[in-house]
C-alpha cells in the first residue's frame, strides 16, 4: 500500500513538474491591450517593398568571386550608389517562421509556437502587414497565411503557389522565385486598367512582400556552395532589378517607394538550418529608396570585422541590425504604428532624416516598447500577492516618469542628439 502511495506521489510530482515546465516555458510572453504609437507623422515613403530571400546567408550574398565580381550585381550597385547595407543578426531557432515573425512583427517567437504547431498562429500578434493599409504578398503557402490570418479585416492579401511546386527533389527550385516575379508583373498590369485595384495601389501605407523560397530549397538539395544555390542568388538579383524598374515605372518615378532586401535565416555548409552557427544567423540587409540614407564613404565608415573582409566593401559604412529591428524600420518609412508586440529598436542609422525626426520616431518607439512592459507589470501585480510584488528595480514607475521628464527637457532645449541617446 505504501509503495503505491509512494509511486502515486512520485507520479504526481512528475506531472506537476512537467506541467510547470510547459506552463513557464511554453506560455506566450506576448501581452495585449497596448495603445498603438505612430512611428512617423510625415513619412518619406508611401509604399514599402520587402524582398525576403529565404535561406540566403550573408557571406554568399556579399562576397565577390575570383574575378572580383559580385553574384548580385544589381544590389551591389545599390550598395555602392544608392542605399545602406549591413548584416542582420537573427536568433535561434533559425527557421522560416520565427525569422519572418521577427522581421515583420518585430519580436522573437516564443517557444509556445513550436509546441502548438508550426504553421498555425498559436497566439495573436500584430505586424507591419496588419498595421498597413494594404499588403500584397506572394510566395509559399507555409509563410503567407500566418500574417493574413492574424490580421484584422481583409487588408492582407496573399497569392501563394500550390504546395506541390515546393518539390525538394526538383532539379532547380529557382522557378519558385520566377513564379512570384511573374505574378507581381501580372498584378501591376491589371493595376493599369482595373479601377478598384488602381485606387488601392495608389494609396499610402501599403506593402508588397516578396517571399522568395528558391535559394533555401536549392540550399537544402544542393548545399550553399553549389552552382544551383549561387545561380539562384543571381536570379533573385536580376528579378529584384526587374521588379524595381517595373514598380518605378508604375508610379511614374515619384520617389515615394522604399525597398528592403533581407533573409529570414542563413544555412550551414551541409545545407541545414535551425541552430546558431554564424552561417545560419548572419543574413544580408540592403535598403534603398524613399527615406533611406545614401552610402557613407571615407572616414565616417565604421571599421568592419574580419567577417566582411572579402566583400570589397571596406570603403562603405556597414550598419548591422538585430533582425527584429527591421520591423520598426519598415513601419517608420511608411509612417504606420509600430507593431504593438514588437521589441525591435528603430535603426536610425538607416534613415535619411534630421535629428528632430529621428528623435520623434525613436521616442514613439520607446513608448511603444514601454507600454508592453507596463501592461505586463500590471498583469503581474494582479496575479501576485500584493505583499510579495516588487516592481523591476531598474524601471519603476517613478524612474519611468523621471526619464520622460528628462527627455522632454532636452528636447525643449533642442538637444535631439543627446535625447536620442
Residue nearer to Zn ion on the CB measure, 282 or 369: 282
Contact 52, 283 (CB under 8 A): no
Minimum gap (Å) between residue 168 Cβ and Zn ion: 10
Residue nearer to Zn ion on the CB measure, 216 or 237: 216
* Segment lying near Zn ion (by CB under 5 A), choices 100-108, 216-224, 253-261, 301-309: 216-224
320 binds Zn ion (CB under 5 A): no
The residue from 216, 280, 320, 325 that contacts Zn ion (CB under 5 A) is: 216
Minimum gap (Å) between residue 314 Cβ and Zn ion: 31
Strand partners, 286: 85, 261
Residue at grid coordinates 503505491:
4
Residue nearer to Zn ion on the CB measure, 124 or 231: 231
Residue at grid coordinates 519603476:
396
- CA–CA distance, 303 with 312 (Å, rounded to integer): 13
| Helix%, strand%, coil% for the chain, nearest 5 | 50, 15, 40
* Segment lying near Zn ion (by CB under 5 A), choices 20-28, 38-46, 59-67, 208-216: 208-216
Number of residues that bind Zn ion (CB under 5 A): 1
- CA–CA distance, 218 with 212 (Å, rounded to integer): 12
Q: Give the residue at shortest CB distance from Zn ion.
A: 216
Lateral strand order in the sheet of 206-212: 156-160, 134-139, 206-212, 47-53, 257-262, 282-289, 84-89, 321-322
Minimum gap (Å) between residue 179 Cβ and Zn ion: 17
264 binds Zn ion (CB under 5 A): no
Contact 211, 180 (CB under 8 A): yes
Residue nearer to Zn ion on the CB measure, 131 or 216: 216
Residue nearer to Zn ion on the CB measure, 205 or 279: 279
Sign for the pseudo-dihedral over CA of 140, 142, 145, 150:
negative
Residue nearer to Zn ion on the CB measure, 85 or 210: 210
List interacting residues with Zn ion (CB under 5 A): 216
Amino acid at each position: 500500500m505504501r509503495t503505491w502511495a509512494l509511486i502515486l506521489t512520485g507520479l504526481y510530482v512528475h506531472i506537476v513538474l512537467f506541467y510547470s515546465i510547459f506552463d513557464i516555458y511554453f506560455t506566450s510572453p506576448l501581452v495585449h491591450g497596448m495603445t498603438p504609437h505612430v512611428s512617423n507623422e510625415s513619412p518619406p515613403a508611401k509604399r514599402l517593398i520587402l524582398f525576403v530571400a529565404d535561406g540566403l546567408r550573408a557571406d554568399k550574398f556579399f562576397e565577390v568571386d575570383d574575378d572580383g565580381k559580385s553574384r548580385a550585381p544589381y544590389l551591389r550597385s545599390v550598395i555602392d550608389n544608392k542605399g545602406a547595407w549591413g548584416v542582420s543578426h537573427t536568433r535561434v531557432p533559425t527557421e522560416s517562421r520565427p525569422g519572418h515573425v521577427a522581421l515583420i512583427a518585430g519580436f522573437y517567437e516564443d517557444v509556445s509556437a513550436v509546441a502548438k504547431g508550426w504553421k498555425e498562429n498559436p497566439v495573436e500578434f500584430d505586424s507591419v502587414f496588419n498595421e498597413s493599409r494594404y499588403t500584397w504578398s506572394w510566395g509559399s503557402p507555409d509563410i503567407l497565411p500566418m500574417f493574413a490570418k492574424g490580421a484584422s479585416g481583409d487588408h492582407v492579401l496573399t497569392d501563394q503557389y500550390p504546395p506541390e511546386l515546393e518539390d525538394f527533389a526538383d532539379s532547380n527550385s529557382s522557378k519558385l522565385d520566377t513564379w512570384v516575379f511573374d505574378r507581381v508583373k501580372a498584378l501591376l498590369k491589371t493595376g493599369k486598367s482595373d479601377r478598384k485595384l488602381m485606387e488601392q495601389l495608389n494609396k499610402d501605407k501599403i506593402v508588397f512582400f516578396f517571399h522568395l523560397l528558391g535559394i533555401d530549397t536549392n540550399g537544402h538539395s544542393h548545399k550553399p556552395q553549389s552552382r544551383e544555390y549561387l545561380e539562384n542568388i543571381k536570379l533573385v538579383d536580376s528579378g529584384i532589378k526587374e521588379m524595381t524598374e517595373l514598380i518605378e515605372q508604375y508610379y511614374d518615378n515619384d520617389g515615394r517607394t522604399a525597398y528592403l532586401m533581407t533573409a529570414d535565416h542563413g544555412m550551414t555548409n551541409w545545407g541545414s538550418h535551425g541552430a546558431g552557427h554564424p552561417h545560419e544567423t548572419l543574413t544580408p540587409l540592403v535598403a534603398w529608396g524613399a527615406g533611406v540614407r545614401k552610402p557613407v564613404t571615407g572616414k565616417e565608415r565604421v571599421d568592419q570585422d574580419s567577417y566582411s573582409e572579402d566583400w570589397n566593401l571596406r570603403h562603405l559604412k556597414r550598419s548591422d541590425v538585430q533582425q527584429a529591428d527591421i520591423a520598426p524600420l519598415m513601419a517608420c518609412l511608411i509612417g504606420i504604428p509600430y507593431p504593438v508586440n514588437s521589441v525591435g529598436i528603430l535603426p536610425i542609422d538607416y534613415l535619411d532624416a534630421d535629428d528632430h525626426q529621428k528623435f520623434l520616431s525613436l521616442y514613439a518607439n520607446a513608448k511603444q516598447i514601454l507600454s508592453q512592459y507596463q501592461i505586463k507589470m500590471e498583469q503581474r501585480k494582479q496575479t501576485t500577492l500584493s505583499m510579495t510584488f516588487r516592481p523591476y528595480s531598474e524601471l519603476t514607475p517613478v524612474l519611468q516618469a523621471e526619464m520622460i521628464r528628462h527627455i522632454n527637457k532636452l528636447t525643449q532645449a533642442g538637444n535631439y542628439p543627446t535625447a536620442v541617446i
